[in-house]
Homo-oligomer: A and B are copies of this chain.
Amino acid sequence: MGALVSADEIAKPFRDSVREAVRALGRRVTLRGILASERRASGVYAEYTAKGCADVGIHFDLVHVGRLEVEAAVKAANDDEDVHGVIVYYPVFGGERDRTIQDEVSPEKDVEGMNARWAYLLYNDVRTVQGDKKTILPCTPLAIVKALEALAVYVPGAPPGTQVRGKTITIFNRSEVVGRPLAAMLAHDGATVYSFDIDGVLRYDGHKTKETPITRAEALASSDIIITGVPSRDFAIVKKDEVKAGSVCINFSTFKNIDDDVIERARAFLPRVGPITVAMLLRNTLRLFENFHSGPLTGP
């Protein structure tokens, strides 16, 4: 019998670490939230952000604007020296229009790591900028890597390219926000990743991506790690009998993508990731402050 894992427990040490670092800084670190979406999920994420910030001592400054004012709000946040991180709650318009907004957030304040500059570095496996400053990674993919660390199937101290070497991973989701960056990150760290979406299956190995004829059943049966993030009730839930004995199963969809009884075969099942994502958002805010905004205080 495997373990049902709590996302809050995995998140806790990261929150503790951010809280201590913020306290040690002795400076006010400000995250500006920009909320225009009327979709309930966006408002909920803003509430989680507020609670997370309060918990670790980051000043959260949430502004509500009409969707046509989002870009002016982004620019104001980019230009405001007292703002160190910016998060826009999507969807605003949805689709490609929102990509333009993501790209308008200054990379040096982009706590979500969604900006074109960070994405380019991620896909090209560049891990530091300006010498030794670590890049910003998108929050949910990073949260999943941290969960894999906590579940002892990812070795953080190992040399780059070997942290998850020899592991086979199946991911259901290849969105630009989570599934595709996650597949690239895990492949860069040594795994073989099967990435499923409605467009087909891709196999990620190191820096190579190829089409592959593998079936769902074959991929699941051979995977040490299974990650699901399909935002649909129509997805055929991953069943106990499909997974490899001793595997680690993670669901980041708000829909149930994995049957609870997989723990009868799996070593661990993490049914949600949200609290770890919020912890990574706080961690990215701190990292941006340290990397780009922690110079000497100016002014009188």
Contacts and interface: CB of A to CB of B under 8 A. Distances in A.
B116 A103 contact: yes
A7 B115 CA distance: 37
Interface in A93-140: 93, 95-97, 99-100, 103-104, 115-117, 119-120, 123-124
Interface of A is mostly: helix
Chain copies in the assembly?
2
A162 interface: no
B202 A71 contact: no
Contacts of A99: 96, 99, 176
Contacts of A103: 103, 116, 119-120
A95 B93 contact: no
Contacts of A199: 93
Contact of A95 (B95, B104, B202, B209): B95
A51 interface: no
A176 B96 contact: yes
Contact-size category for A: 20 to 34
A12 interface: no
A59 B216 CA distance: 46
Given A103-B119, A116-B103, A123-B104, A202 B68 contact: yes
Contacts of A8: none
Nearest to A71: B123
A233 interface: no
B68 A210 contact: yes
B97 A176 contact: yes
Nearest to A177: B96
Interface in A7-53: none
A201 to B, nearest CB: 12
B120 A176 contact: no
A17 B93 CA distance: 40
A176 B100 CA distance: 8
A239 interface: no
A76 to B, nearest CB: 12
A211 interface: yes
17 contacts: A68-B202, A68-B209, A71-B123, A93-B199, A95-B96, A96-B96, A96-B99, A96-B176, A97-B176, A97-B180, A99-B99, A100-B119, A100-B176, A103-B103, A104-B116, A104-B123, A116-B117
